[in-house]
Each structure stands twice: as C-alpha cells, then as structure tokens.
Amino acid sequence: MNFKTPKLTVVGAGPGDIDLITIKAIKVLKKADVVLYDALVNEELLSYINPEAEQIFVGKRRGCYKYQQEQINELIVARAKTHGHVVRLKGGDPFIFGRGAEEMEFAAGFGIETAMVPGISSSLAVPAYQNIPVTKRGSAESFWVITGTTKEHKLSNDVALAAKSNATVVVLMGMGKLPEIIQLFQQENKNNLPVAIIQNGTRSNEKVGVGTVDTILDVVKEQELSNPAIIILGDVVKHRAILANVQQEYANI
C-alpha cells in the first residue's frame, strides 16, 4: 500500500541541450516516483531520473498524440494517488505555452500538492545560442513571445499587433502559419526586416535559416526547415552576422 503524499511537480527541461536543465530540476527528477515526459524533452535527461521511477512518454510526434491532454491530467492524478510524487517533465519552461499551469490547477482540484521548477525558455535560449539577442540597445527595446497557433488552431491575433511594433517578435509553434505571419509583416511594409528560423535549437542537429520577410519562405524551402522551430523577426537578427564580421576582422589583424 502506498503511504506517500500525492504530489505533482511540473519541471522545465530547457530548450534541448541537456546542460541547460537546472540543478533543482535534476534534484527533483532523482526523487520522482513517476515521470511523465514530452516529445520536446531531450531523452538523455531521462538518465537523471530515479531508476526505480516509472517513466511514461505522453508527448506527440508529427501530429500523433500518445495521450490527449485530458488523459494526461487524469494520469497525473491517478499516479499521484497510487505512487506519490509525479514529475511532469516538459520542454523549455512549462509556464510559456506549456500547459503546466493547467495541469497544476487540475491536480490541485483533487487535493494534490503542487510545485513548479522553472526551465530555460526556448524563446530566449534558442536565439541566444545563435548569437541573436531578443533585445539590443538601438535595435529593440522590447520583445514579444507569441504562440503561432491558438487552441482554435488559428494564428494568434497578437501577431498582427506585434507586426506594427518595433519590438523583436519571437513566434513559437508557428511554422504551419509562417505564410500568414509573413503576410502580416508585409502589410506593415517590413519587407526587408531580418528573419531567422531555428530548428531543433541548441541540439546537435540544429538548423538555421536567415533571410528577410520577403525571402524567408524561399530559405525555408531551400533548407527544408520544419518543426520544431522558432521564428525570430527583428533587427536583432543582424547581430549574428555583425558579431561574426567583427570576429573575422580581429582574426585577420
């Protein structure tokens, strides 16, 4: 019989590079009784899990769902009551389009103790790994992080608002809506605005495509870029090339 206190801890696994998970997250994984993990989690991180813990893959790959969200919620509650400490391991940061808050709220409704360990968000870390700062003095004073697809499977209205601003715009889960996104920026006469698309960010199989609003669709086609990928629109994308040029000039001195 299980005498452990039912508990859910939602843990951010970071953007992909296994070194970008936090020490606190690793400590929690070592104490877990059950770990439910998503497709965007680097499976090398599973080596940190308590060897006696049950591991359950609940993610989706290429549109194929292993579990629906309602089933995941019910699984969390069921395993917490029978096993004790359930860790929900999610890519990036679970509170940034990760549904971590929803899962915690559902579990709390059954009297289950909840906790959260933040993760390094892909919206910041993936551009940074390619020397693209989301803010830079003289280029961008702010940034938007927007989901490309809402729960109604439509493009977020916030993208149109962001296109009117001078801020850096980072779009997650937006590759399927890329033509619509580009059209909104073209309507704002931002045809020459730099754009970067980073697939499998921070991982060994990372791919990067850089262009402008007018050229990025061709870049995507030529380089065969697809999900999972992050879209960055803004003058800050230029920093990548500027830094490379400075480094090359120094090397030639």
Catalytic residues: 38, 60, 173
Distances (CA, A) of 165 to 173, 186, 233: 21, 13, 11
Calpha distance 148→231 (Å, rounded): 9
The 3-class SS string of the chain reads CCCCCCEEEEEECECCCHHHCCHHHHHHHHCCCEEEECCCCCHHHHHHCCCCCEEEECCEECCEECCCHHHHHHHHHHHHHHHCEEEEEECECCCCCCCHHHHHHHHHCCCCEEEEECCCCHHHHHHHHCCCCCCECCCECCEEEEECCCCCCCCCCHHHHHHCCCCEEEEECCHHHHHHHHHHHHHCCCCCCEEEEEECCCCCCCEEEEEECCCHHHHHHHHCCCCCEEEEECHHHHHHHHHHHHHHHHHCC
Give yes or no for a contact between 210 and 109, defined as CB atoms under 8 angstroms apart. Answer: no
